[in-house]
Structure 1
Amino acid sequence: MNHLGKFVFGALLSLSCAIPAQAADTLMMATTTSTQDSGLLEYVAPTFQKETGIDLKWVAVGTGKALEISKNCDADVLLVHAPDVEKKFIDDGYGIDRRQVMYNDFVIVGPKADPAKVAGKTTAEALKAIYDAKAGFVSRGDKSGTHSAELKLWKDSKLSPDKEPFYISAGQGMMATLAIAAEKGAYALTDRGTWIKYANKQGDANPLTIVVEGDSALFNQYSVITTNPKLCPNVKKDLAVKFEDWWVKPETQKLIENYKLEGKQLFFPNAGK
């Protein structure tokens, strides 16, 4: 190789070394605190990246805030759990392609002494007992999916506790809300996944226990939604489609089913149902 050839080869080699490797495609998701607090996202994200080559980033907030993030075009996809709010979000044109992926349920937790004597009651009976006893109740108060579900349960029970002294609006996530309920010896509504994680962390020091569960009114559905690219042109629709397809495929549904903590299943797959 002559001197000119060596110079060109060296220049090309230097240039190739200066060019960074192709970065992985990145997808931004807005989701609920329960999917993060339960540990589910850290469990599934590595598999998602390995199988799709997509680097999943997320912000975990209440469902109401997650929807606002999507409206502001700051998220490509959503993983949320407030069906009535989600359907309005889609009807208003902000989201497309909503698909159910999994469910768990809500439970009402409270002090082990159960001062309002709600154990074994239906949800409506329990809320009335808490209301009549003026027992403490801590609400998330953050427009999350859990908060929306709680407000609906009070409304269905024909009760309005929001101005009552015993009703505390935390304005925080589920873990913080449970901590406040524990501190104040109060009741709270929580998704079961986060409760299992919280109870496992607290161990024998946990002053709270489940007092109401198994009521059909406590069903908790999770779905994925793509931000509407017609309103948000920068949305990575092709990656969002891969994201949604991945969540509903049988292998991922089995992955969700297999996620357990202390032998307890936190989420139940129901794609296509």
Structure 2
Amino acid sequence: MINRLFRSSIRLLIVTILLTAGNSVAETVQKQTIRLATTTSTDNSGLLADILPTFTEATGYPVHVIAVGTGKALRMGRDGDVDLVLVHARAAEDRFVSEGHGVKRYGVMYNDFVLVGPTDDPAGISQAEDAITALRRIAGHAASFISRGDDSGTHKKELGLWKMSHTKPAGEWYLEVGQGMGKVLQIASEMDAYTLTDRGTWLAYQAKSPLKIVFERDPLLFNPYGIIAVNPKHYPDINHDGANALIKWLISPDGQERIGNFRIGKNQLFTPSADAGEFASFDQPR
């Protein structure tokens, strides 16, 4: 009799444990997927594929990455097609928030832009004193230049630099292709042309390209990335809890460490730049 009661108790305990575990798994699976619109650079570089599985494992939130240009990512956020955006065009980001489409911008990381081109550098831009002079030399030599032409953060940066140089790029030497960074680097390689690229994507693609970095390290080429949750007041059905969970993780010490540790060979692609104070106050009323 005692043995039967003991065995029954053990079976009941096992069933309870299995049901509890099953409920936990179900709760994880039922968490709504986070829709993240981001730049092609964060995707092409391999960064998100490297770090997001850790976030999903820790929180149970799957992340669907939509890699487009910054301009399109912000439009998707404005239209409520995604839950948050991770982009790199500060003026456009600030406008996105000020117009009420986003809740708040958080700094996440930065890298920089570089000008890559043919190894013989026909426009001689490696000798330029700054990025503005480098672009003027390209235009002056009518040296082939491939522009993304896609309203991305990189394209916005390029257009801003041309404007600062008081040069309007036009003619057979200047080609807008409306493609992401990886494709642009491929086209520039095939045409032996110059282009502007973020350093992270370049490091991911350089082994497949005959081009080289011909100009770099100008403060004008600084490239910060920000993350913004779409405003739930406009779109109550978006996954705002998931968006906040991803933002908090990316600006946390763990997320920042993983961003800083992401490398190709010995090269660090992104430098973490989150404000520790923002992370500490993230759960406080705002």
Q: Which residue is 1:141 aligned to? A: 149
The one-letter code of the counterpart of 1:149 is: K
Q: Which residue is 1:117 aligned to? A: 124
- Which SS does the other structure have where 1:181 is aligned? helix
Aligned counterpart for 1:74 among listed residues 71, 81, 93: 81
The one-letter code of the counterpart of 1:254 is: E
Q: Structure 2 CA distance, aligned partners of 1:225 and 1:242? A: 12
Q: Structure 1 CA distance, aligned partners of 2:159 and 2:204? A: 24
Q: Structure 1 CA distance, aligned partners of 2:73 and 2:198? A: 17
The one-letter code of the counterpart of 1:168 is: L
Q: Structure 2 CA distance, aligned partners of 1:255 and 1:66? A: 24
Q: Structure 2 CA distance, aligned partners of 1:24 and 1:190? A: 39
Q: Which residue is 1:154 aligned to? A: 162
- Which SS does the other structure have where 1:54 is aligned? coil
The one-letter code of the counterpart of 1:151 is: L
Q: Structure 2 CA distance, aligned partners of 1:193 and 1:21? A: 37
Q: Structure 2 CA distance, aligned partners of 1:192 and 1:269? A: 15
Aligned counterpart for 2:224 among listed residues 215, 221, 224: 221
Cα drift, residue 46 of structure 1: 0.8
Q: Which residue is 2:263 aligned to? A: 260
8 Å Cα contact 1:24/1:55 also seen in 2: no
TM-score, normalization by structure 2? 0.85
4+ aligned runs moved over 3 Å, structure 1: 19-22
Instruction: Summarize the alignment of residues 32-181 of structure 1 with structure 2, pairs less than 5 Å apart.
Output: 32-121=39-128, 122-161=130-169, 163-181=170-188
Cα drift, residue 120 of structure 1: 3.4
Q: Structure 2 CA distance, aligned partners of 1:245 and 1:252? A: 9
Cα drift, residue 72 of structure 1: 1.5
Q: Which residue is 2:193 aligned to? A: 186
Instruction: Give the RMSD, CA atoms, in angstroms.
Output: 1.5
1:230-261 residue CA offsets vs partner (Å, 9 max, x unmatched)? 11111221221111111111111111110000
Q: Which residue is 2:26 aligned to? A: 21
1:141-198 residue CA offsets vs partner (Å, 9 max, x unmatched)? 000000001101111111110x322110010000110111111111000000000000
TM-score, normalization by structure 1? 0.89
Q: Structure 2 CA distance, aligned partners of 1:21 and 1:217? A: 49
- Which SS does the other structure have where 2:228 is aligned? strand
Structure 1 stretches of 5 or more lacking a match?
A: 1-15
Cα drift, residue 24 of structure 1: 3.9
Aligned counterpart for 2:247 among listed residues 241, 244, 247: 244
Q: Structure 2 CA distance, aligned partners of 1:229 and 1:156? A: 37
1:56-84 residue CA offsets vs partner (Å, 9 max, x unmatched)? 11110000011111112110011111111
8 Å Cα contact 1:34/1:193 also seen in 2: yes
Cα drift, residue 36 of structure 1: 0.5
- The count of aligned residue pairs is 251
Q: Which residue is 2:15 aligned to? A: none
8 Å Cα contact 1:124/1:153 also seen in 2: yes
Q: Structure 1 CA distance, aligned partners of 2:86 and 2:43? A: 11
Structure 2 stretches of 5 or more lacking a match?
A: 1-18, 277-286
Q: Percent identity?
A: 46
